[in-house]
A and B are shown apart, each in its own frame.
Chain A
Amino acid sequence: MRRQASLLLAIAALVTILASVAAPTAAQDVDPPDPGPEPAAIGEPVAPLTDKRVYDMANLLNNEQEASIESDANRLARHGIPNVVVVHFSTLSPEEAGAFAAEIRRQWGVESNPGADDGLVLLVSINDTEENQGIVTTLSWGDNALPHYGVTSATAADIKRAWLDRYIDGGNLFEGIVFALRRLIYHSIYDPAPQAPLTGARADLGAIMPAAGIALAAGALALAGWCWSPQGRQRRPRQELTDLALQWGVPILAAAVFALSVAGRSGWGVAAGLVLLGIAMADWVARDPRQVPETRGAP
């Protein structure tokens, strides 16, 4: 009987030792929920935002998924949109969730520089109570965050609807978050910033250059046509003057019309400048003195 008791004690001791050895290993595989903000007290982030941007307090994402979102969130930040992603259980209404996300943004300083107010908080609030089940997603933008290259309010709303909400509603939380971040990255990299309107003298140039450029190009074309024609070659008054105009005046005019049209963003003006340049080049080629046999040689 005593031997049996000793055996049982020995087995229990072995199991205890094995369990104590195995426990830390098992604990490493467990993905504990992130400490993070709660509506009552947002507090401080657990790490600098450059080190940790994803807070999965609902513990719905595995380590690999968190790492993937972290990578994309960092990439988005590198392309000019500092951000934090928060997933939590809550019973917040859409309005309350928006206010809460904005509060996180302000208190955690989700921005490129203090006071810049150009950050984004992507908040997923999951209501998992017995009375009411649903998910509220929020993109809370800083006042100066948009537009950022191709990310405008309209683009952001489209991304929320077509990627974030669509995938999360379909039960794919990870895909919804990561795809939304990737679309934001896409529009930050590959779309241009909205163009500032022209003002002052440049706006005036934009109005003047189409007509002025076309008139100058037509005049130069007429002069060149006359000079190049057989009649023009034979009996041309003030030949030196017209030659001077074609050889020097037209190229200078071409450069001036082109530059002024670019300043005034006039497509027609640029076209006129190119016509003038073409006339100058054709005249330069036509006046080639090299058409002599002694300059010819082996291939």
Chain B
Amino acid sequence: MIERFTPRTTIVRIGRTGQPWAFTLRPALLVPFLLLALSLAINLAHVPTTEFHPDETRWINRAHYFTDLGDPFGPTWEDQYLTRGQPPLGSYLMGLGLVLQGRDTVTNGVWDFAYGADWNTAAGAMPDQADLDAARRTNAAVAAITVVVVFTIGNAMAGLVAGTAGGLLLAVHPLHIWIGSQALSDQLLILLVALALLVALRLGRSPSRGLALALGILLGLGGATKLSPMLLAFPLALYGAGLLVLDRFDLVNRAKARSLAPLLLIQPLIAVATFVISYPYLWPSPVRRTWNLFQLRAQEMDEQAAAWPNVNIAHPIEAIERIYQRLTWQFSATGNLAEGALGWLGIQADVWGIDLLLALVGIGVLAWLVIRRGLTSGTALLAFLLAGQVGAIVVGMKVDFYRYHLPIVLAVAILAGLGFQLAWAWLAERGAARFWNILPGVTVETGDHAPHRPHDAATGTASPTAKTGSH
């Protein structure tokens, strides 16, 4: 069955050869465009209706960071609460989005969470509606691009079905849509994590300095968005050291391990350098000010836990329980789809989502793929990074805020895609894919195989044994 998890080029031919309306489709090119359009349309449709969150004002307020990059020693980058409060990449994105949509980066004041909306509105901390909409649209686009990256990961790792299912699940996921239609930085975070996963997958397949540099830069930029991804560079270096140890005992592919390990060992250097370079605040004293950043984030997490005891998380087991509750009952793509279908039939019900169940199946598939492909494979690197990101959230989550679950949703989408690929492979082995036969004039070709339903040049009729693509 492992062969069914090996990505192949799939081509769909529509119509008879030689006829003017005959054409060829490449799903690996077409599907991401469709997913992009779907996700963008859903997110943009939610921009005007999604509930306002005061956090959005902070990101819109800091949009001026983008234009202030032109003056890296100006007052913006002095040691102060706002620069210590959050790393800057989300603010750069907001600024870029506003500028691209014809707005400027001089926006609202800073929202003070010690006071209510009345005071903050009077003090000028509420953004203009046009700024809010533009910032939200920026995030909507980022969220749609993330869907495409998830498709690419699934397609490259396992096949077209894994990519399509993973991308689709993310595109219709209610938490992804919610945050994808708010002006926050969490969508940028998962985009960078998804890109890092994709590059890790390719780095494992063909180790090269260019890909190693790209991976380190993405982890550094992830750190410049929400700190935690940068920390993944350190266990990645340990992974590289582990490969060298395993190589000494001849337990891994020697050529691959010796090629890959040095590139993993330098990841912290590249990630940290990228993080520092991207943030002028850090330049005068990189170590001390980075420490300030982490300290303030930890302090704010503790203060949030004290201020909202109902969302306080005491230990990682409780974090897992919260994740289960959130992603099963409150934010579930499958639950939402089922509720929608039942509602269409006139039945109102709270449906138990099976996203996590699908992800559990995906974890099994991923573990199986890692065992088959080896620890020097891209799949193993991706699994290691994914586990690291999810683990960091589970261990580090002190308060149960909805947005902290978004990286888990990314992992769920990728893993659930693998679950679907498994189901597809199981069905294909039983010949279920022959349903293509009912589509007149359709031929499917995959990879280095001959067309599964070769055209009869004389009659243009299809063979009755056509099979589908992920094969």
Contacts and interface: CB of A to CB of B under 8 A. Distances in A.
A299 B208 contact: no
Interface stretch (B77-85, B95-103, B352-360, B423-431): B77-85
Interface residues of A, number: 34
Contact of B123 (A183, A267, A274, A291): A183
B454 interface: no
Interface stretch (A17-25, A26-34, A185-193, A233-241): A185-193
Contacts of A298: 6, 205, 372-374, 377-379
Contacts of A291: 208
B362 interface: no
A295 B256 contact: yes
A265 B81 contact: no
Nearest to A265: B73
A267 B68 CA distance: 12
A267 B280 CA distance: 10
Nearest to B73: A265
A288 B379 contact: no
A217 B35 CA distance: 43
A284 interface: yes
A186 B123 contact: yes
Contact of A299 (B72, B79, B109, B204): B204
B374 A195 contact: no
Nearest to A264: B73
B344 interface: no
Contacts of B75: 192, 194-195
Contacts of A285: 208-210, 213
Contacts of A266: 73
Contacts of A193: 78-80
Contact of A295 (B259, B284, B373): B259
Nearest to B205: A299
A130 interface: no
A182 B110 contact: no
B106 interface: no
B461 to A, nearest CB: 37
Given A182-B115, A262-B283, A191 B374 contact: no
Given A297-B374, A297-B377, A186 B109 contact: yes
A3 interface: no
Contacts of A186: 109-110, 112, 123
A255 to B, nearest CB: 10
B394 interface: no
B209 A295 contact: no
Contacts of A190: 80-82, 109-110
Interface string B386-425: 0000000000000000000000000000000000000000
A191 B82 CA distance: 8
Contact of B373 (A191, A270, A274, A297): A297
A228 B274 CA distance: 25
Given A192-B80, A270-B72, A288 B205 contact: no
Interface in B64-97: 70-73, 75-76, 78-83
Given A297-B376, A297-B377, A192 B79 contact: yes
B206 interface: yes
Contacts of B202: 299
A122 B340 CA distance: 60
17 contacts: A182-B123, A186-B110, A193-B79, A195-B78, A267-B73, A270-B283, A274-B277, A281-B213, A285-B209, A285-B213, A291-B208, A295-B206, A295-B255, A297-B378, A298-B6, A298-B372, A298-B374
Those 6 A-B pairs whose CB atoms lie nearest each other, nearest first: A192-B78, A265-B73, A288-B209, A298-B373, A295-B259, A192-B80
Given A194-B75, A262-B284, A290-B259, 8 more contacts: A186-B112, A189-B81, A193-B80, A266-B73, A285-B210, A298-B372, A299-B6, A299-B205
